[in-house]
């Protein structure tokens, strides 16, 4: 049963789900996941990349397919390549080169898929690796730790997974354990602000258990919920019932993720049941085995009947797989697709399509034909629809720089191959484009239509409630009935907009078919406004030319508004390049002395960098790890003392050697006095042992010096030969100094060995040595003296009590204590050091920690029921440092005890009291004198190494390195530049000068352009009301008119880089026919309020005509729908 505790929750769990629409006849809903790597429209199917890749599909192809989230497997990624390697690649996103969102499962599914290799306990699940058979524990904490390291946007709790066909107590056990594991996952989650943790609902096919799980888990305030434990062999009816039960009780404002579902039927049904997210390996795995999923079922492409069949798999599908063929598509009925039209001012006039880049169109009849042919290629010939746009650039001296997007009109009744929900698909596509804050909306309405019923104005109001981006365009002014006009609308008096209305007169279909010249059409439009009594007073503010100027001015306004942020961004990039470009500022490729100057500069800079790294005065201080002089200092004062201390614990060997020395000196005689020759013999032998740690210290310093040289020569990458030669010369010199330094150190030790100075002021003498014989085994550390403080992780605390956890440790001469934090107020435990030893422990499964253990030599529990405590550090250096601190406290490694076990006891017991007294006396004398020598060596070693090696190396680099370089190789070959570095330098200089030029251009724009103010707000409440009270201008629409024409609408530049409007496709200026319209992809959601109620979308469009206020004559609706251009 679940423990009766207060439910754990993530503090202020983010609301990542925004509902956009709900079906009135089912639980289906559309929404948007707001994730760190961009929004994701739901419902969404997530392709599965078990080991951070989908076999046969690149990240670029996934991106092109519109995938915005995919899934990885924590268990397999933890095994290979491992979280450490992935972290070095800046997380899973960098490892995959994937710019969008990622979801990682917890590894729980492997309890089923690897059931023969796993064992589940309350602690976690133990797996035997399928690669090498090693056993590892995957606990809830470890699963979250790995997912935190991977950096995925959505992470899953570890749950206890059983097959959906299992019944009985095991299902109940798994359900309650999943609840407990959820609490542990929440507690272990380290990045709740960057990664969203989902809970997983379990309970098998038992409705009561699943209801209980739903009740308990929804008490935890997590960002989302997954429905698990299904789609594993049960019947469809059972499966769908459990899904329906789950979605009915899950929070409405949080995403619902149905795990492991990929069959088309299940996706459709479960979307209707209210699920938002799905994943499965089925589609990609099916493709890898030579099959394709088509509307008629599973197409086995390996069959012989398809061997010579070159037809596309699906002629109506636009993906590369289905359309990878060279068969003609034919032409005929023009279908509907959005047209992205980039207009670019140019001296010559031509057009280019994105899908045929190499061809330039100079005849715009061919442009029209290519538009028709391209739409047929994608949508077929029976009025099909598709959201895939046509991209067209038009270069002309008669256009202004703009990017326009021609969108389809709103259709109510489907025809031909159009789907039943054609109206909603087109609306979604329109919203996708006009929702962008950088777009300007042209809401096009024909003059012979009731303006209050304009679908274009309604959609514009949804995404632009303040009216800052909406311009009204009134067409078909020349087709209004006699006696009616649109003057009040164009003067912005009737149903006003903030940016007002602009009237245009387009060519008729007869004019287009008759190839009426564009200039003649513009002249006719101008004549219409000047001659019409209702419009002549505002003719200068009407017509297509004025519309173009207005749009261009708005583009200028947008650029000026974007300038401060753009200038700041460019300045930031320029500053980041300043230091790197500094060395290239005076670069002159034609200077004959260039190589000599570069050589002198680089050698000088190398010497400065080397000295700064050693002396610690570098201008770029590394905050991530120790380097250079800091590491050498650590060798001097931590590692070298540690090596010396290790020599001090051969206590039994030392006593045995002293007893042998005394007996051999006495010979056959029985000695009455303690012989001083035994003292000298033992001391000299102990002094000789100092050679090994001293020489090891020299080796460690040499290695650090060589590493420092390599780090400093990294700046010479531009000249690989120079770098190689510099490293060789300096390294050779260091090796020469190594021999001299080691000779000097050995000389120091020989000097110590040559004369035993018993008159040293710190030497205790024979009398004091006899008095201290009873204190031989006591610690020399001062009682209660704090030896070290720091953070350590206890690695093997029971997972039921929180798993591995970090504490603040305090080591004294008598005890080891740990606290909750560094304030040392809440003590967790104090462990006496008596009878404690240290042993090494191998790193755990997928662990990046280095571990050692403390245990009791008398086989007693060290802490509660633990025989040993495993302590973990971040690096091996930290482990060595802590071991040295424990040695100072008298806690020695296990191996030394084992080495001293053999052959000691018999000699100890064989000593008579007289001999034992003499042994203890000499032992105290040796201890005192060796301590004097150690003190001297510890003081002289750093000084000797600094003088003979480090300082000499610095002097060599400053004074002699240049001469060695000149004599070692020809200067021209030495300064031969790397091709890659030369390219990098040229790119960097080019970028540097481009940034400076961009900043100058921004300055020119700021001074040479004028920004028009934003128009004041108007009373547009009429747009917020329903169409039941719609005032009507004094005009009548014609009952038999063609579908209203429209100019293309404008999309402004996207924020960020400098705006470069690009031309595309013919407009009215190019005698192009009306562009066929098509629906778009999933909406980008017009509603800007993430917490507003979603609109209710009826299953069928309402057909009740709007009521008309009194006094307004009724008119029949137009025969064709109005089509907004955006």
- Total residue count of the chain as it appears in this document: 1126
Per the structure block, which two tokens stand in for 405?
């997007």
Q: Please give the Cα distance from 707 to 1015 (Å, whole number).
A: 66
The answer to whether the annotation marks 202 as part of a ligand binding site is: yes
8 Å CB contact between 40 and 101 = yes
Question: Which of 1015, 1024, 32 lies closest to 465, judged by CA?
Answer: 1024
Longest CA span, the chain: 146
At a CB cut-off of 8 Å and minimum separation 6, what does 1000 contact? none
The rounded distance, in Å, linking the Cα atoms of 139 and 795 is: 13
Identify the CA nearest to 812 among candidates 804, 820, 821, 824: 824
In this structure, the number of other CB atoms found within 10 A of the CB of residue 168 comes to: 10
The answer to whether the CB of 835 falls within 8 A of the CB of 856 is yes
Please say if 279 is a catalytic residue: yes
Is residue 570 within 8 Å of residue 491, measured between CB atoms? Answer: no
Of the candidates 153, 279, 406, 485, the residue annotated as catalytic is 279
142 contacts 846 by C-beta, under 8 angstroms? yes
Q: Which of 749, 648, 732, 736 is nearest to 695 (CA)?
A: 749
880 classed as catalytic:
no
- 107 labelled ligand-binding: yes
8 A C-beta contact, residue 793 and residue 804: yes
Q: For the purposes of burial, counting CB atoms within 10 Å of the CB of 37, is it exposed (0-12), middle (13-18) or buried (19 or more)?
A: middle
Residue 726: exposure state from Cβ atoms within 10 A (0-12, 13-18, ≥19): buried
Which residue, among 542, 541, 468, 489, has the nearest Cα to 1013 in the 3D structure? 468
CA pair distance 378, 356, nearest whole angstrom? 15
**159 labeled binding residue:** yes
Distance CA 430, CA 443 (A): 11
Q: Is 233 marked as binding a ligand? A: no
270 annotated as belonging to a binding site for a ligand: no
Query: Which of 397, 353, 563, 395 lies closest to 1061 in space, CA to CA?
Result: 395
Q: Is 105 annotated as a binding residue?
A: yes
Asked if residue 38 belongs to a known ligand binding site, the reply is no
Q: Do 712 and 618 meet the contact criterion of CB atoms below 8 Å apart? A: no
Element (DSSP H or E) covering residue 182: helix 169-188
Q: Do the beta carbons of residue 933 and residue 690 sit within 8 Å?
A: yes
- Cross-strand partners of 22: 29, 1096
Instruction: Answer yes or no: are the C-beta atoms of 850 and 879 closer than 8 Å.
Output: yes
Beta strand extents in 259-321 (DSSP E only): 277-280, 291-294, 297-300
- Cα separation values, 908 from 661, 682, 913, Å: 14, 18, 11
Q: How many CB atoms lie within 10 A of CB 930?
A: 20
649 assigned to a ligand binding site:
no
CA–CA gap between residue 129 and residue 76 (Å, rounded): 10
Which of 318, 317, 340, 519 lies closest to 1075, judged by CA? 340
Beta bridge partners of 138: 125
CA-CA distance, 767 to 769, in Å (whole number)? 5
| Strand spans (E) along 693-781 | none
449 contacts: CB under 8 Å, gap ≥ 6: 1037, 1044, 1118, 1122
User: Would the annotation count 355 as a binding residue?
Assistant: yes
> Which residues, 6 or more positions from 1096, have their beta carbon under 8 angstroms from its beta carbon?
21, 22, 24
Q: Which two tokens stand for residue 1004?
A: 């020119």
Q: Is 712 annotated as a binding residue?
A: no
Alpha helices in 900-1025 (DSSP H): 905-910, 913-945, 951-959, 961-968, 971-974, 979-1008, 1021-1024
CA–CA separation, 155 and 103 (whole Å): 6
Q: Which of 105, 183, 450, 464 is catalytic?
A: 105
Which residue numbers belong to the known binding site for substrate? 105-109, 159, 202, 229
Which residue numbers belong to the known binding site for Zn(2+)? 317, 319, 322, 355
Catalytic site positions = 105, 279
Which residue numbers belong to the known binding site? 105-109, 159, 202, 229, 317, 319, 322, 355
């Amino acid at each position: 049963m679940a423990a009766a505790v207060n439910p754990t929750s993530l503090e202020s769990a983010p609301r990542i789900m925004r509902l956009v629409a709900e079906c009135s006849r089912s639980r289906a809903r559309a929404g948007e996941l707001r994730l760190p790597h961009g929004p994701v429209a739901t419902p969404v199917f997530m392709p599965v990349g078990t080991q951070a890749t989908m076999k046969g599909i690149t990240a670029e192809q996934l991106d092109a397919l519109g995938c915005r989230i995919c899934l990885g497997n924590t268990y397999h990624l933890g095994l290979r390549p491992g979280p450490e390697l992935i972290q070095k690649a800046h997380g899973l996103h960098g490892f995959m080169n994937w710019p969008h969102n990622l979801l990682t499962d917890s590894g729980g599914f492997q309890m089923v898929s690897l059931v023969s290799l796993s064992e589940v306990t309350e602690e976690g699940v133990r797996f035997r690796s399928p690669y090498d058979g090693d056993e590892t524990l995957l606990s809830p904490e470890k699963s979250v730790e790995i997912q935190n390291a991977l950096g995925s946007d959505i992470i899953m709790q570890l749950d206890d997974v059983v097959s959906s066909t299992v019944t009985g107590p095991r299902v109940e056990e798994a359900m309650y354990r999943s609840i407990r594991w959820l609490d542990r996952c929440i507690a272990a989650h380290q990045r709740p602000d960057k990664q969203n943790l989902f809970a997983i609902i379990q309970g098998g096919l038992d409705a009561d258990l699943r209801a209980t799980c739903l009740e308990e888990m929804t008490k935890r305030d997590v960002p989302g919920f997954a429905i698990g434990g299904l789609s594993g062999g049960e019947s469809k009816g059972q499966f769908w019932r459990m899904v329906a039960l789950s979605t009915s009780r899950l929070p409405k404002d949080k995403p619902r993720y149905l795990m492991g579902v990929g069959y088309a039927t299940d996706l459709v049904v479960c979307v209707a049941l209210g699920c938002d997210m799905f994943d499965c390996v089925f589609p990609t795995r099916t493709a890898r085995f030579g099959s394709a999923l088509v509307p008629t079922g599973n197409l086995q492409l390996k069959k012989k009947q398809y061997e010579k069949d070159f037809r596309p798999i699906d002629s109506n599908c636009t993906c590369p797989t289905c359309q990878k063929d060279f068969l003609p598509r034919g032409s005929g009925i023009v279908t509907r697709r959005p047209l992205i039209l980039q207009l670019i001012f140019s001296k010559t006039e031509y057009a280019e399509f994105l899908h045929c880049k190499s061809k330039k169109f100079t005849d715009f009849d061919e442009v029209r034909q290519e538009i028709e042919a391209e739409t047929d290629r994608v949508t077929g010939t029976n009025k099909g629809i598709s959201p895939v746009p046509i991209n067209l650039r038009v270069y002309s001296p008669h256009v202004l720089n703009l990017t326009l997007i021609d969108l389809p009109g709103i259709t109510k009744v489907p025809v031909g191959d159009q789907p039943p929900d054609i109206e909603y698909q087109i609306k979604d596509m329109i919203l996708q484009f006009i929702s962008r804050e950088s777009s300007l909306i042209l809401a096009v309405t024909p003059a012979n239509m009731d303006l209050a019923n304009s679908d274009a104005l309604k959609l514009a109001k949804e995404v632009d409630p303040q009216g800052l981006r909406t311009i009204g365009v009134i067409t078909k002014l020349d087709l209004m009935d006699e006696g009616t006009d649109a003057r009040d609308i164009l003067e912005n008096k009737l149903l006003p907009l903030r940016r007002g209305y602009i009237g245009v007169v387009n060519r008729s279909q007869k004019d287009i078919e008759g190839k009426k010249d564009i200039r003649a059409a513009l002249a006719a439009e101008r004549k219409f406004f000047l001659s019409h009594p209702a419009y002549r007073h505002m003719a200068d503010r009407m017509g297509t030319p004025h519309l173009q100027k207005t749009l261009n001015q708005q583009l200028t306004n947008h650029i000026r508004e974007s300038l401060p942020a753009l200038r700041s961004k460019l300045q930031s990039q320029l500053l980041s390049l300043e230091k790197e470009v500094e060395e290239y500022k005076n670069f002159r490729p034609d200077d004959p002395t260039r190589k000599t100057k570069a050589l002198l500069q680089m050698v000088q800079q190398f010497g400065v960098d080397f000295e700064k790294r050693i002396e610690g005065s570098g201008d770029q201080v590394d905050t991530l790890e120790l380097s250079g002089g800091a590491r050498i200092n650590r060798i001097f004062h931590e590692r070298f003392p540690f090596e010396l201390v290790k020599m001090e614990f051969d206590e039994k060997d030392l006593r045995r050697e002293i007893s042998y020395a005394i007996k051999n000196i006495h010979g056959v005689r029985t000695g009455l006095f303690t012989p001083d020759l035994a003292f000298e013999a033992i001391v000299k032998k102990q002094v000789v042992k100092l050679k090994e740690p001293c020489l090891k210290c020299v080796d460690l310093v040499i290695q650090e010096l060589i590493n420092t040289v390599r780090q400093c020569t990294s700046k010479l990458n531009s000249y690989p030969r120079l770098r190689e030669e510099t490293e060789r010369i300096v390294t050779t010199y260091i090796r020469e100094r190594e021999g001299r330094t080691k000779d000097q150190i050995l000389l120091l030790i020989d000097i110590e060995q040559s004369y035993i100075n018993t008159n040293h002021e710190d030497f205790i003498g024979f009398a004091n040595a006899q008095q201290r014989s009873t204190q031989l085994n006591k610690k020399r550390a001062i009682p209660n003296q704090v030896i070290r403080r720091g953070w350590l992780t206890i690695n093997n605390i029971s997972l039921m009590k929180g798993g591995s956890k970090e504490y603040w440790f305090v080591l004294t001469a008598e005890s080891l204590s740990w606290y909750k934090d560094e304030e040392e107020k809440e003590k967790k435990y104090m462990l006496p050091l008596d009878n404690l030893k240290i042993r090494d422990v191998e790193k755990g499964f997928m662990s990046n920690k280095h571990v050692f253990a403390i245990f009791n030599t008398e086989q007693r529990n060290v802490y509660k029921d633990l025989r040993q405590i495993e302590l973990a550090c971040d690096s091996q250096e930290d482990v060595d440092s802590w071991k040295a601190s424990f040695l100072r406290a008298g806690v020695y490694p296990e191996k030394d005890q084992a080495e001293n076990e053999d052959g000691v006891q018999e000699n100890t017991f064989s000593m008579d009291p007289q001999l034992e007294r003499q042994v203890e006396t000499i032992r105290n004398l040796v201890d005192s004198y060796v301590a004097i020598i150690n003190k001297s060596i510890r003081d002289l070693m750093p000084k000797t190494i600094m003088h003979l090696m480090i300082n000499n190396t610095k002097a060599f680099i400053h004074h002699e390195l240049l001469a060695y370089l000149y004599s070692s190789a020809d200067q021209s070959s030495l300064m031969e530049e790397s091709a890659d570095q030369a390219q990098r330098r040229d790119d960097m200089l080019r970028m540097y000068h481009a940034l400076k030029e961009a900043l100058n251009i921004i300055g020119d724009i700021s001074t040479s352009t004028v920004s028009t103010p934003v128009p004041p707000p108007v009373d547009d409440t009429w747009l917020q009301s329903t169409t039941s009270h719609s005032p009507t201008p004094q005009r009548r629409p014609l009952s038999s008119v063609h579908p209203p024409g429209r100019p293309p609408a404008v999309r402004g530049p996207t924020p960020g880089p400098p705006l470069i409007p690009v031309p595309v496709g013919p407009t009215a200026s190019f005698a192009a026919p009306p562009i066929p319209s098509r629906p778009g992809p999933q909406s980008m959601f017009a509603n800007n309020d993430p917490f507003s109620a979603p609109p209710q979308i009826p299953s069928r469009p309402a057909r009740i005509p709007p009521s008309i206020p009194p006094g307004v004559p009724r008119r029949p609706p137009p025969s064709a729908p109005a089509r907004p251009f955006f």
